[in-house]
Amino acid sequence: MLGLPYIANNIITENSGRYAGGIMIAYCEGMTLENNVISYNYTTGNFGGGGGIYVDWESINIINNTIVNNHSDGTGGGLCITGNAGVIKNCIIYGNTGNGNTATNEPVIRKRFEGNPDVSYTNIEGGWDGEEIMDALPLFIDTIQFKLSVLSPSIDAGDPDPIYFDQTLEGNLNIVLLPAQGFLLNDMGAYGGPHYQVYEAPIDTPPVGFAFNASSTGPNFDLKYANGLLEIKMDKSEYICPAVRLDRAFFFCKKKNAGSSVSLEPNGFKASRLVAKKLDACN
């Protein structure tokens, strides 16, 4: 493959090979691999492995990819970097398995023939030597597209440079476009940054806001998320907080008089001692 290919917004899965189980990139100096899910690929481990990705000799840019659950019978279950110093940024590299020196995380990334990638703002299992590296469970909500749950530590954890900001609703920088989560800052993985494929909102998407009135009172204001439900506990006020979101629905709150607790879900709401009024917009 010659020139400067741009490979983006794919799911590369369940492939196999002697090396480069998922994708092989050779002699493509300066090309970009962006917003891809690379998962469940397998290599027998020849030439250093590379269960998910094998990059041969010339440096490329690996930006905002989710590289998960790949395997090598040799080293480099996630990636093999041969003889180059490419960029790995804003990625999630987790659940990949292989053999080798665990002290240098060789089962996950194999550095071959002085390969030395510049890794930053990446969630990588086993850690790595680089800027703003984390090692934390990504908390995906599925095992095919690997979208992030609202509790994922990878949300808003990518490079804070504005060139990597997530996509937002036109005219409102506080609402990022699905499947990104959180706020404007880059989400690590395949669904962060300015170039991921935006999900179209379904026809039955709920209104963007709710107003609450209730008779009971509570001691505090708290947000909890579990089992697909967002629980809002309020004191003597009503809150509509910007950009609290579950997958396909947005929930806002604004201070008013009342208090209670309510559980919200993407296709509606459940309430106790609560009267809810849907709003067309929230100020």
For 33, 165, 210, 235, 251, the CA distances from 280, given in Å and listed in that order, are: 39, 27, 8, 25, 12
Residues 129 and 268 in one domain: no
Residues 220 and 145 in one domain: no
Cα–Cα distance for residue pair 256/268, rounded to 1 Å: 21
pLDDT of residue 27: 87
Contact 135, 126 (CB under 8 A): yes
Contact 162, 185 (CB under 8 A): no
pLDDT of residue 4: 83
**pLDDT beyond 50 at 205:** no
Residues 183 and 227 in one domain: no
Closest CA to 40 of 76, 16, 20, 74: 16
Cα–Cα distance for residue pair 242/245, rounded to 1 Å: 9
Residues 105 and 243 in one domain: no
Residues 60 and 121 in one domain: yes
b/e 31-63 (16+ beta carbons within 10 angstroms → b): bbbbbbbbbbbbbebebbbbbbbbbbebbbebb
Residues 179 and 160 in one domain: yes
Cα–Cα distance for residue pair 90/180, rounded to 1 Å: 13
142: in domain: yes
* Strand boundaries in 64-171, DSSP class E: 66-68, 71-72, 79-82, 87-89, 92-94, 109-112, 118-124, 131-134, 168-169
31: left (phi over 0), alpha (psi -120 to 50) or beta: beta
Give residue-wise pLDDT tens across range 224-273: 444 444 445 444 443 333 333 333 333 333 333 333 334 443 333 333 32
In the three-class reduction of DSSP (H, G, I as helix; E, B as strand; rest coil), residue 266 is classed as coil
Of 195-204, 205-214, 255-264, 270-279, which has the strongest mean pLDDT? Answer: 195-204
R_g of the chain computed on alpha carbons: 22
Residues 104 and 64 in one domain: yes
204: in domain: no
Closest CA to 235 of 217, 252, 253: 217
- Measured CA angle at 161 (ends 4, 63), to 5 deg: 35
Residues 47 and 187 in one domain: yes
**pLDDT beyond 90 at 128:** yes
Q: How many domains does the chain have?
A: 2
Phi and psi of 102, rounded to 5°? -70, -25
Closest CA to 46 of 82, 93, 90: 82
* Domain hosting residue 269, numbered range: 209-279
Residues 253 and 188 in one domain: no
Lowest mean pLDDT among 37-51, 113-127, 226-240: 226-240
In the three-class reduction of DSSP (H, G, I as helix; E, B as strand; rest coil), residue 46 is classed as helix
Residues 175 and 110 in one domain: yes
**pLDDT beyond 70 at 116:** yes
**pLDDT beyond 70 at 165:** yes
- The answer to whether the Cα torsion of 111, 160, 11, 70 is positive or negative is positive
82: in domain: yes
Residues 177 and 240 in one domain: no
More confident residue, 144 or 248: 144
Residues 127 and 72 in one domain: yes
Give residue-wise pLDDT tens across range 45-98: 898 899 999 999 889 999 999 999 999 999 999 999 998 989 999 999 999 999
